[in-house]
Chains A and B, each alone.
Chain A
Amino acid sequence: MSNIKKRLLKEKIAKVAMQLSGITITGSLFFIIGTILYKGLPYLSWEMISQSPQGGFYIGKEGGILNAILGSLYLATCSTMLATLIGIPISIFLNIYVKSGTFLERSCKLLFDVLFGIPSIVYGAIAFSIMVWVGIRASLLGGIITITLLTIPIVVRTIDELLKTIPVDLKHVTFSLGATRWELAKIFLKYIKPGIFTAILLAFGRAIGDVAGVLLTTGFSDNLPKYIDEPAATLPLAIFFQLSSPIPEVQGRAYASALVLTFIILIIVICTHLLASKQQKHKI
């Protein structure tokens, strides 16, 4: 084969390989969601989402997963709120109050960037040890604290990225009008408002799906969550504990939990997408 034909053939083969790779990667998303839909839909019923397990979550055949749904919602909502209340001020401080380019600013940002990647099991292990040392038992409160700590770097980093998109001139113009740094912060926050909601949603998604952080700190329970110092059920743990049960109804609860969790995540993703397109509207 002539040289040129050989090279063109190589390119054709490479192109097919590239397309297959792309299809594999995007396809895996549909594959995973599809599997969960397939297994979970048969078990999804009104009883399932409106009742808690009867007869013990490991062996009881009756009842549903309301305990886990509520537990997860409480946990994720509280931790996300706390993480937002702590994370946004930190990000504002680093970006507006601290002079940019200084060692403090760069190292703090790097630090939070890196913390972003620390796995939740590490946070869980530490929180558990502290809880043991102080004498708190596994409870909703423990879970909230752990997940909040876990989520703060996410909020800080997301807000950081958002603030980076603000044109520098806006800062100069506002300062030259005599505004204080806090007043500038308020303007910046208004500018990135849709983005803030995105950050909150992202944090919520992480909070609700996490297992390792709550495994050791929140415990599990059949009951609907009532007091903050009691163990509570969460969807991820419901899946984890009940998936390998030999009793089909118990397994069914695991599949249903997986399905509910997937729905929640998909809703979050769609909302994030809608907000992102809204963000474009106000861009200068």
Chain B
Amino acid sequence: MNWRLIKDKLIQRSFATLLALSLIVIVLILLGLSFKSLPLLRAESFGAILTESVWSPLNGSFGFLPFIMGTIWVTFISLIISVPLCILASAYLVEYAGEALRRMVLPLVNVLAAIPPVLYGVWGVLFVVPFLSQYVAPIVGAETTGYTVFAGGIVLAVMIFPIMVSIMVEVLQTIPYELKAASLSLGATKWETIVKVILVKAKPGLIAAIVLGISRAFGETIAVLMVCGNIPQIPKSFFDAGYPLPALIANNFGEMMSIPLYDSALMFAALLLFVLIFGFNLISRLILNRLEGKS
């Protein structure tokens, strides 16, 4: 029997096993999370958990609404800041900037992606929080410590710059030159061409980039935790403190052993996060895959 063929078969089997094991792990994770969340789901209805706004585990009330709202607030703020900046910057890099500038700027933006979240948190605490409480709040007439959803949003915005810019730039680069030429030949300015033709054509890709940015923002734990105040309330303004979902899990694992249903609640939070992010990532990848297939 040919030794090479045997080796090939053996390797195939072992690699396949590794793959199967990892798939099993994923399934186990999902099952585990669901299983551990069951006690909570049995005690209260799914709808009630998601819409109740009182979070007081000692008293047995597990309203997740403050955390869901907290996550939505910081994500929303980060999007308001970063989406326009990223679209404008990407459009500049692809349509106006020369090759040299692109080759310099894109790696720099990617370095942003490599920085660990905890360092963003440090920057947030050292700069963003005091900046908000000493400079921005007085202008608007608000009083705040600076540990707010606004701070969380700003830090998150900077964290999602790299992923959005890199995808947007890639998408914009696939727009065929002749389409731009068609618009320019009709006497449109470059900017008009960008707004009315290029960005319109690139819309699905841009949306995919934003969706990926959202999923990144949803899951970011540490950086936001360090600057958002961690008060389980529903934020009513930019300058309120908040408490996003990942921070809930991170902060409270120590206490969960002593209070009944607490561990189940935290597991449910993790499950919720997993499902949401999984869903967003899936949608975004499917859009991007379809675009790749078309071009």
Contact with B along A70-96 (1 / 0, CB 8 A): 000000000000000010011011100
Q: Does B118 contact A (CB under 8 A)?
A: yes
Q: Given A7-B189, A93-B12, A149-B25, check contact A117 B119 (CB 8 Å).
A: no
Q: How far is the CA of A35 from the CA of B267 in the complex (A)?
A: 36
Considering only CB atoms, which chain A residue lies closest to B82 in the complex? A25
- Name the one of A121, A128, A243 contacting B219, with C-beta atoms under 8 angstroms: A121
Q: How many pairs of residues, A versus B, come closer than 8 Å at their CB atoms?
A: 230
Number of A positions contacting B (CB below 8 A): 79
Measured CB to CB, the closest approach of chain B to A41, in angstroms, equals 14
Considering only CB atoms, which chain B residue lies closest to A112 in the complex? B22
Q: How far is the CA of A32 from the CA of B32 in the complex (A)?
A: 39
Q: Is A210 in contact with B250, judged by CB distance below 8 angstroms?
A: no
Number of B positions contacting A (CB below 8 A): 84
List of B residues within 8 angstroms of A189 by Cβ: none
Q: Given A209-B116, A236-B116, check contact A117 B216 (CB 8 Å).
A: yes
Measured CB to CB, the closest approach of chain A to B258, in angstroms, equals 13
Q: Is A32 in contact with B96, judged by CB distance below 8 angstroms?
A: no
Q: How far is the CA of A157 from the CA of B228 in the complex (A)?
A: 32
Q: Is B25 in contact with A181, judged by CB distance below 8 angstroms?
A: no
Q: Given A35-B127, A243-B122, check contact A113 B109 (CB 8 Å).
A: no
Q: How far is the CA of A18 from the CA of B106 in the complex (A)?
A: 15
Q: Is B117 in contact with A111, judged by CB distance below 8 angstroms?
A: no
Give the one of B14, B126, B277 with max A CB within 10 A: B126
B binding-site residues for A, Cβ under 8 Å? 4-5, 7-8, 11-12, 14-16, 18-19, 22-23, 25-26, 29, 32-33, 36, 84-86, 88-89, 91-93, 96-97, 105, 107-109, 111-112, 114-123, 125-127, 158, 161, 165, 189-192, 194, 212, 215-216, 218-222, 226, 246, 249-250, 253, 257, 263, 266-267, 270, 273-274, 277-278, 280-282, 285-286, 289
A binding-site residues for B, Cβ under 8 Å? 7-8, 10-11, 14-15, 17-19, 21-22, 24-26, 28-29, 31-32, 35-36, 39, 86, 89-90, 92-94, 97, 108, 110-111, 113-122, 124-126, 128-130, 132, 149, 152, 180-183, 185, 202, 205, 208-212, 215-216, 236, 239-240, 243-244, 254-255, 258, 261-262, 265-266, 268-269, 273
